[in-house]
Structure 1
Amino acid sequence: MSTVEINALFPDEQAATEALHKLQALRVVDVSGFHENGILTATIDEAVADRAMRLIEGIGGSITSELY
């Protein structure tokens, strides 16, 4: 399966950390970034990419880029 890389910006560290934990529940391939600055990069299986993007937006994050 192919993967999707999502870069997201959150209003604060708490929102980024919440997203990190929820993305891990979706079985992301990798999560990195500067959580304390509200920036997060997640590499996810394409099958759950839409759910991950909705999750990010639901927490208050904004998706800054997606690479397929």
Structure 2
Amino acid sequence: MPAKVGAVKVSNISSSSIFNIGDVYSMSPQSTAKTYAGSGSFNTGNGIRINLNKSNTYINDSDKIDQTIS
């Protein structure tokens, strides 16, 4: 069903967003992400003290692609 649309201001669209004006049958946003994190990576709070000395995160990803988007 057609509609009249007034002024539109888009401030920000992230990589997994959809922006559409008008008629649409189906919308399906798709995104993939891979996160590598070593010890102490996701700590949050006040007054945290972390001593990791020589901490390393080794990654061996032989296939390079986990989920394709087409």
Q: Which has the higher contact order (CA 8 A, sep 6+)?
A: 1
Question: How does the TM-score come out when normalised to structure 1?
Answer: 0.18
Higher helix content, 1 or 2: 1
Larger radius of gyration: 2
